[in-house]
Amino acid sequence: MDLGSEARFASYVAALGSVIGQAPRTDRLRDYCTGLILPGERKSVEPMAARTAPARVSAQHQALLHFVGTGDWSDAKVLAKINEQVVPAITKHGPIEVWIIDDTGLPKKGRHSVGVKSQYCGQLGKEANCQVAVSLSIANHFASLPVGYRLYLPKEWAEDRARRDQAGVPEDIRFKTKQQIALELIQGAHASGLPHGVLLMDLDYGRDSRLRAKVSALGLSYVAGIQSNVLMWAPGTGPKRPDKSLNNNGRRNEPDLISAKEVARALPKDAWRTIRWREGSADWLSSRFARVRVRVGSRGAIPAQVAEEWLLIEWPEGETQFSKCKYWLSTLPADIGFEQLVDIAKMRWRIERDYQELKQEVGLGHYEGRGWRGFHHHATLCIAAYGFLVAERAAIPPSGPASSALLPTSDLPDGYRPRGAALAA
């Protein structure tokens, strides 16, 4: 790390330290963030202690464990201070364009780490023993930054007093779905005054019509993934009057409703266009898309209550069946360009980059503690380290060299051997 980067890191840490209390905490914060940024295969407390204080590994180990596991400091205040410092660096390269909701799985062994259970783990691509956290990131085409991160606590955990007490789950934490957690993160970011962007949601969140409605109530536009069977009124049509009669399934009759898949099937050949949206590692990414204006609303609604929105459909080149199509609903303006709509929908790749770098570069999934506070403290400090790296990249001229190691690596003490694998949870 050059002298300029060292000075910026010291200033960055001092700013974060201003919201966590006593000076010793700032020292621990600096050491923890340093350990997360330093090269190293494992970013759990023990190897970080060895790298940041090789002459007193045991004492450093205990100090960092206490700081992250039981330290009485506010994740929300530190995240707000990260935003205050990093967002201006990102917006030098253009305004914030999107907010991105997603979740990530962190594989774990055993059953005692807070929130762990057998559930779908995106990192592994299958159901496995893991913790799952919901996050909100803000992004433009240059960079992205997580601004909210919260553990999903499964119902069996939320209702188990003994496990809650052992993991230190706060009294006010109750079971909430991932969609409910996402809404709270969105509402918090909205209230904090962060620059607005179009909210991007994948299928797991976008298919929740109540979540979409509450996002709209906040004045935010969205591009939300939906299932092919979501019902809507075809282009140019809409509900005519409240219909209180019930069909055989006990639902109100709306004979004009058709599925998103049926809308796609009915489109003429000239509705489809090949659009490219981003340069990939080898070539430009492109696919075949169509878009139409539709109305999606509750049965029995009157036309004035059901606004038109975009249905965006991706039908990959070479596919002959509609089973491979992807569908999005969007409340972006009616006059938005086709290419711009696709470009915004596809900006979800930024959250994938966030998770990749948070896990591979700064050790998001390496925390070995079991408690609620430590889980969130570690994530906050990972975001702090990641935020500093984002700000440093923003300061490098386009023609400047990429920095592979922003901090100098300390020598490990003789005979040091890390535990390596995460503790059995």
**Digit-coded pLDDT (tens) for 16-74:** 999 998 888 999 999 999 999 999 889 999 999 999 999 999 999 999 999 999 999 99
Residues 2-10: what's their mean pLDDT?
Answer: 86
pLDDT value of residue 361? 92
Neighbouring C-alpha atoms within 13 Å toward the C-beta of 271: 16
From the number of C-beta atoms within 10 Å of its C-beta (0-12, 13-18, 19+), residue 354 rates as buried
Nearest to 364 by CA among 422, 414, 417: 422
Question: Per-domain residue ranges for the chain?
Answer: 3-199+351-395, 204-346
Instruction: Give the model's pLDDT for residue 207.
Output: 94
Q: Alpha helices, DSSP H only, in 277-416? A: 338-345, 349-360, 372-395
- 386/389 Cα distance (integer angstroms): 5
pLDDT value, residue 407: 42
Task: Tell whether the model's pLDDT for residue 240 goes beyond 90.
Answer: no
Nearest to 345 by CA among 100, 178, 123: 100
Contact status, residue 128 vs residue 106, Cβ threshold 8 Å: no
Q: What's the pLDDT at 248? A: 52
Looking at residue 189, its pLDDT comes to 97
CA dist., res. 266 & res. 260, Å (int): 10
Break the chain down into helix, strand, coil percent, rounded to 5: 40, 20, 40
Instruction: Give DSSP secondary structure letters for 29-47.
Output: HHHHHHHHHS--S--SHHH
Contact partners, residue 57, CB within 8 Å, separation at least 6: 49, 50, 413, 416
Mean pLDDT along residues 152-166: 96
- CA atoms in the 13 A half-sphere facing the CB of 273: 13
Taking Cα atoms as reference points, which of 31, 44, 144, 143 lies closest to residue 423?
44
Query: 368-386: per-residue pLDDT in tens?
Result: 999 999 999 999 999 999 9
Confidence band (pLDDT; 50, 70, 90) for 179?
A: very high
Give the mean pLDDT of the chain.
88
Q: What are phi and psi of 340, to 5 degrees?
A: -65, -40
Tokens of 96: 């914030």
- What is residue 4's predicted lDDT score, i.e. its pLDDT? 81
Tens digits of residue pLDDT in 320-368: 888 889 999 999 999 999 999 999 999 999 998 889 999 999 999 999 9
pLDDT at 138: 97
Q: Which of 13-17, 256-260, 413-417 has the highest mean pLDDT?
A: 13-17
Parallel/antiparallel/unpaired status of strands 98-107 and 198-201: parallel
- pLDDT of 321 reads 84
Q: Where does the pLDDT of residue 144 fall: very low under 50, low under 70, confident under 90, or very high at 90 and above? A: very high
Check pLDDT > 80 for residue 286. yes
Which of 315, 325, 316, 264 has the alpha carbon at shortest distance from 292?
A: 264
Residue 127 predicted with pLDDT over 80: yes
- Mean of the pLDDT values across residues 157-163? 96
- Write out pLDDT tens, residues 181-205: 999 999 999 999 999 999 999 999 9
Task: Measure the CA–CA gap between 86 and 262, rounded to whole angstroms.
Answer: 45
Neighbours of 35 (CB within 10 A): 27
* Residue 413: per-residue pLDDT: 41
Which has more pLDDT, 400 or 415?
Answer: 400
Query: Is the pLDDT at 239 greater than 50, yes or no?
Result: yes
What is the rounded distance in angstroms from the CA atom of residue 290 to the CA atom of residue 88?
36
Among residues of the chain, what percentage have pLDDT more than 70?
86
pLDDT at 123: 84
HSE toward the beta carbon, residue 401, CA cutoff 13 A: 6
Report the pLDDT value the prediction gives residue 423, as an integer from 0 to 100: 33
pLDDT of residue 405: 43
